[in-house]
């Protein structure tokens, strides 16, 4: 949908002010992106990829881009920052220096986007836009208007012991476009956690780009706990070189309408693991769209998405796997397990396989159902009442995914969040 003149004017000024503060190549990209956005607007439900997630509400809101940082309670921020991690905090897209650890330089570069423009312009220019393989309104909006973000760069062979946590806080009813560029050099290893939380009904419009060098390894987490009236778009675009490994896990727990897009271009001998949870309760609409392109031979990919849809919640999962000609010996499996727990909840699941090679293994499975009555009965025969038994099974459904998180501080955090949700039965962490 074409943008109205008023809406466009709103963004034009912002882009010009950002462009004046960007290197020439980026200023050019911003202006081109805005032109495309002016013509196309945000994606329409008429487009196949957006069929189940109607974002006209976002368009109607006409969010202005946040120009300053809102006030936040430092104690609350403290509760969101994970121990034993290297922190970078963005409030309304602006770098919160006081709440962040010092930038890293050397074999590991980790800094906010402003610092990156000043000190690592070459790295930025080299990697920017290299992993994004789609073009739609949210990406154009982001490219034109992104302000804050982070640059992570690991030199070849570097192993980052401490996980990086980038915390995004949203405090105002405005659009917050942020962008990260993550470059992991050959044989290098890192863990990156992107956390999103907020106190206002704004719009997150985030893009992360990841370039994984030969035999590099990245553990990547997205913890989405936005405000219950907030809108969220989060795109993760990854390019994997030969022999690299990506393990991505997403917990979509918040927001009013949240769309997560994960696209991975998979090289030779690569491993790609995607896990995720949608907890669509209340009136929450959660959408995850994955697209894995097996571009070279001998890649392995596994996707496991679990969904709880209850009350008036809605979950959308679209999983597309493309096996390109020549990507022989690809081994891909995708699984989507949905618990549909109320009459008013809705689940849409759409696996799509496009296979252009003949020697491949490609499997997909979708289940939509209720809690296992045999398991409920089993718990009841041990004295646990029906409602607690139901809660315990839901707890187990989520906890299975949390137990698989091999970053201890994050696992601990998720356990505490889970226990809070199940306050009816106090749960304890396993030693």
Partner 1 sequence: MTDTLLKIENLHACVEDKHILKGIDLTLDYGQVHAIMGPNGSGKSTLANVLAGRDGYEITEGRVWYRGHDLLAMPPEERAREGVFLAFQYPVEIPGVSNIYFLKAALNAIRKHRGESEVDAMDFILLVKEKMKRMQMDEQFLYRAINEGFSGGEKKRNEILQMLVLEPTLCLLDEIDSGLDIDALKIVAEGIEALRSPERGFLMVTHYQRLLDYVQPDVVHVFANGRIVKSGGPELARELETKGYGWIEHYLEAQAR
Residue range at the interface with partner 1 (CB under 8 A); choices 35-43, 211-219, 248-256, 381-389: 381-389
Q: Does 431 bind partner 1 (CB under 8 A)?
A: yes
CA atoms within 13 A on the CB side of 90: 30
Rg (C-alpha) for the chain, rounded Å, is 21
CB of 428 to partner 1, least distance (A): 7
Nearest to 176 by CA among 127, 137, 136, 233: 233
Residue range at the interface with partner 1 (CB under 8 A); choices 119-127, 250-258, 291-299, 379-387: 379-387
# residues near partner 1 by CB under 8 A: 31
Q: Does 428 bind partner 1 (CB under 8 A)?
A: yes
Residue range at the interface with partner 1 (CB under 8 A); choices 71-79, 206-214, 360-368, 372-380: 372-380
CB of 425 to partner 1, least distance (A): 7
Q: Does 377 bind partner 1 (CB under 8 A)?
A: yes
CA-based torsion, 108, 83, 112, 138: positive or negative: positive
311 versus 403: smaller Cβ distance to partner 1: 403
Per-residue interface string for the shown chain with partner 1, residues 328-367, x marking contact by CB under 8 A: ----------------------------------------
Neighbouring-strand partners of residue 115? none
Q: Does 325 bind partner 1 (CB under 8 A)?
A: no
Spell out the residues 6+ positions from residue 45 whose beta carbon is closer than 8 angstroms to its own.
51, 52, 53, 54, 55, 56
Q: Does 403 bind partner 1 (CB under 8 A)?
A: yes
109 versus 398: smaller Cβ distance to partner 1: 398
Neighbouring-strand partners of residue 199? none
CA-based torsion, 295, 189, 405, 260: positive or negative: negative
Q: Does 76 bind partner 1 (CB under 8 A)?
A: no
Distance of alpha carbon 414 from alpha carbon 398, whole angstroms: 10
Q: Does 381 bind partner 1 (CB under 8 A)?
A: yes
CB of 418 to partner 1, least distance (A): 10
DSSP string, 236-299: EEEEE-TT-EEEEEEEE---SEEEEEEEEEE-TT-EEEEEEEEEE-TT-EEEEEEEEEE-STT-
Q: Which residues of 325-343 are buried (b: 16+ CB within 10 A; e: fewer)?
A: eebebbebebbbbbbbbee
359 versus 408: smaller Cβ distance to partner 1: 408
CB of 108 to partner 1, least distance (A): 35
Distance of alpha carbon 128 from alpha carbon 181, whole angstroms: 7
Using CB under 8 A, pick the residue from 47, 372, 406, 408 that binds partner 1: 372
Using CB under 8 A, pick the residue from 110, 141, 395, 413 that binds partner 1: 395
CB of 310 to partner 1, least distance (A): 17
Nearest to 103 by CA among 92, 93, 114, 88: 88
Residue range at the interface with partner 1 (CB under 8 A); choices 57-65, 193-201, 249-257, 377-385: 377-385
Chain contacts with partner 1 (rule: CB under 8 A): 372-375, 377-386, 388-389, 392-393, 395-401, 403, 425, 427-428, 430-431
């Amino acid at each position: 949908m074409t943008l109205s003149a008023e809406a466009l004017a709103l963004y034009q000024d912002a882009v010009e002010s950002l462009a004046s503060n960007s290197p020439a190549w980026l200023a050019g990209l911003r202006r081109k992106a805005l032109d495309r956005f002016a013509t196309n607007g945000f994606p329409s439900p008429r487009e196949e990829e957006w069929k189940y997630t109607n974002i006209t509400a976002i368009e109607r809101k006409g969010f202005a881009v946040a120009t300053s940082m809102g006030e936040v309670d430092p104690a609350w921020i403290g509760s969101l920052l994970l121990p034993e991690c290297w922190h970078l905090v963005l409030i309304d897209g602006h770098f919160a220096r006081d709440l962040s650890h010092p930038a890293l330089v050397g074999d590991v570069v980790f800094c906010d986007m402003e610092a990156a423009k000043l000190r690592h312009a070459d790295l930025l220019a080299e990697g920017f836009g290299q992993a994004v393989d789609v073009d739609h309104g949210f990406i154009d909006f982001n490219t034109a208007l992104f302000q804050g973000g982070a640059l992570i760069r690991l030199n070849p062979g570097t192993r980052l012991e401490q996980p990086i946590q980038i915390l995004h806080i949203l405090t105002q009813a405005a659009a917050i476009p942020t962008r990260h560029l993550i470059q992991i050099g050959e044989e290098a290893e890192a863990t990156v956690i992107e956390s999103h939380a907020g106190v206002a009904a704004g719009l997150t419009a985030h893009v992360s780009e990841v370039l994984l060098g030969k035999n590099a390894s990245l553990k990547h987490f997205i913890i989405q706990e936005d405000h219950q009236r907030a809108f969220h778009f989060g795109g993760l675009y990854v390019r994997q070189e030969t022999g690299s490994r990506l393990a991505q896990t997403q917990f979509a727990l918040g927001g009013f309408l949240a769309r997560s897009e994960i696209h991975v271009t998979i090289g030779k001998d690569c491993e790609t693991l995607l896990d995720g949870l949608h907890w669509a309760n209340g009136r929450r609409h959660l959408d995850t769209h994955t697209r894995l392109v097996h571009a070279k031979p001998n890649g392995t990919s596994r996707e496991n998405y679990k969904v709880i849809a209850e009350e008036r919640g809605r979950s959308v999962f679209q999983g597309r796997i493309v096996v390109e000609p020549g990507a022989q010996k690809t081994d891909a499996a995708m699984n989507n397990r949905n618990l549909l727990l109320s009459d008013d909840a809705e689940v849409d699941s759409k696996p799509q396989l496009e296979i252009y090679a003949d020697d491949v293994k490609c499997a997909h499975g979708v289940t939509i159902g209720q809690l296992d009555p045999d398991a409920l009965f089993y718990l009841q025969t041990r004295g646990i009442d029906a409602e607690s038994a139901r809660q315990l099974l839901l707890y187990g459904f989520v906890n299975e995914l949390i137990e698989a998180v091999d970053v201890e501080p994050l696992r601990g955090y998720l356990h505490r969040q889970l226990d809070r949700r199940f306050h009816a039965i106090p749960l304890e962490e396993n030693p």
